[in-house]
Amino acid sequence: MGAAGGGMGPPPESVSTFTVEAQTWIRSIKAVGTIEPIQGVLLEAEVAGLVEAINFENGQMVEAGDVLVQLDVKVEKAELQAAQALARLAEVELERAQRLRKSGNVPQSDLDRAVAEEEKTKADLENIKARIARKTTKAPFTGRVGIRHINLGQYLAQGAAIVALQANEKVYVNFSLPQQALGQIKSGLSLALTSDAYPESNFKGSVTAISPEIDPSTRSIQIQGTLDNPDGILRAGLFVRVEVTLPEQDTVTVVPATSILYAPYGNSIYKVESTEAGLVAKQHFVRIGTRRGDFVSIEKGIEVGEKIVSAGAFKLRNGISVTVNNKLAPDPKLAPTPDNS
């Protein structure tokens, strides 16, 4: 009985396994960026005046040329009527002077004076029209207005903010990369965007501009991409994660991230090997590469086709007996989309 008891050991540990496989990974560069509108401006009062009319609602789409805000121009309109009357009189005087000059009844100086007076009245007329136009705020391009900063009857000082206007059918994404990426990045490369604001969405675009200079303080280069934004959900100032796809591809040996035991003296995994006594787990040190999704690439230490422990490795020791149970094994994904917790 003592001999039988001495031959007994701990029961085998239940683990999940994964067969090491090779995958083709497209090279990419990741960064963080900010969304900027193709066209965006904060409309401001060009001259001081009293708000007489507001012709838009907050958040409304407006067309280029629409009158958004009209300041009080009663004085200018009265001056315009007087200037128009003087302009008509100057035209009549000029026509009369031209007829009399042809008949030789007036000297050339009178005709020159009539020409100058007619030109002066036209200039005065355009000056008043320009003053009225400066008190009329129009949409410089088609876009969506934000929340107005003014009220009807309010006196606006010169330069006072009126409302933001942005065109969001297309947007820019501005981000920076270290100078080491300068030889890899070029215009036309595809890029993908993700944002915490839309965790289930992936936005596609392309690199459209690369700064001609490198920032000497950070040794980084500014990159700009362009994306279609037909629904207008990508707003200016939005923080996004950017991944630029490079044309090169790599064939890598991968394992699930859950299979790796990280330690200061070296990272390791457990291989499942068959012996006369059954399945045993043996620890092997590995050199890991990059991580993508639920997978980690392995540069050295394992081969494609080997069976490793993918779940439950934390409770193992070298040479322990194991049993395989893959019913509850996690399914690793290259592009996981977990629920937003």
Query: Average of pLDDT values for 54-83?
Result: 92
Domain check: are 56 and 151 in the same one? yes
Domain check: are 287 and 307 in the same one? yes
Query: Average of pLDDT values for 27-49?
Result: 92
Return the higher-pLDDT residue of 112 and 210: 210
Domain check: are 78 and 117 in the same one? yes
* Residue 302 belongs to domain with CATH number: 2.40.420.20
Domain check: are 151 and 52 in the same one? yes
| Three-state secondary structure string covering 155-186 | EECCCCEEEEEEEEEEEEEEEEEEHHHHHCCC
pLDDT tens digits, one per residue of 119-166:
999 998 999 999 999 999 999 999 999 999 999 999 999 999 999 999
Residue 6 lies in a domain: no
Domain check: are 57 and 155 in the same one? yes
Domain check: are 36 and 184 in the same one? yes
The pLDDT of residue 341 = 46
* Residue 54 belongs to domain with CATH number: 2.40.50.100
pLDDT tens digits, one per residue of 219-233:
999 999 999 988 888
Query: Average of pLDDT values for 50-76?
Result: 93
Q: Is the predicted pLDDT of residue 215 greater than 80, yes or no? A: yes
Domain check: are 59 and 150 in the same one? yes
Residue 329 lies in a domain: no
Of the residues 224, 249, 274, which one is the last residue of a structural domain?
249
Query: Average of pLDDT values for 315-320?
Result: 86
Please give the Cα distance from 64 to 70 (Å, whole number). 16
Angle formed by the axes of helices 108-134 and 74-103, nearest 10°: 160
Nearest to 227 by CA among 168, 172, 166: 172
Domain check: are 187 and 219 in the same one? yes
Domain check: are 154 and 255 in the same one? no
Domain check: are 144 and 183 in the same one? no
Q: Count of domains in the chain? A: 4
Of the residues 159, 192, 223, which one is the last residue of a structural domain?
159
* Residue 113 belongs to domain with CATH number: 1.10.287
Phi, psi of 194 (to 5 degrees): -130, 155
Give the structural domain span for 238.
28-40+168-249
Domain check: are 225 and 305 in the same one? no
pLDDT tens digits, one per residue of 177-196:
999 988 889 999 999 999 99
Pair type for strands 13-19 and 320-324: parallel
The pLDDT of residue 8 = 60
Share of the chain above pLDDT 90, in %: 50
∠ Cα 155 139 225 (to 5°): 125
The pLDDT of residue 290 = 86
Q: 293 pLDDT band (50/70/90 cuts)?
A: confident
Residue 333 lies in a domain: no
Domain check: are 54 and 67 in the same one? yes
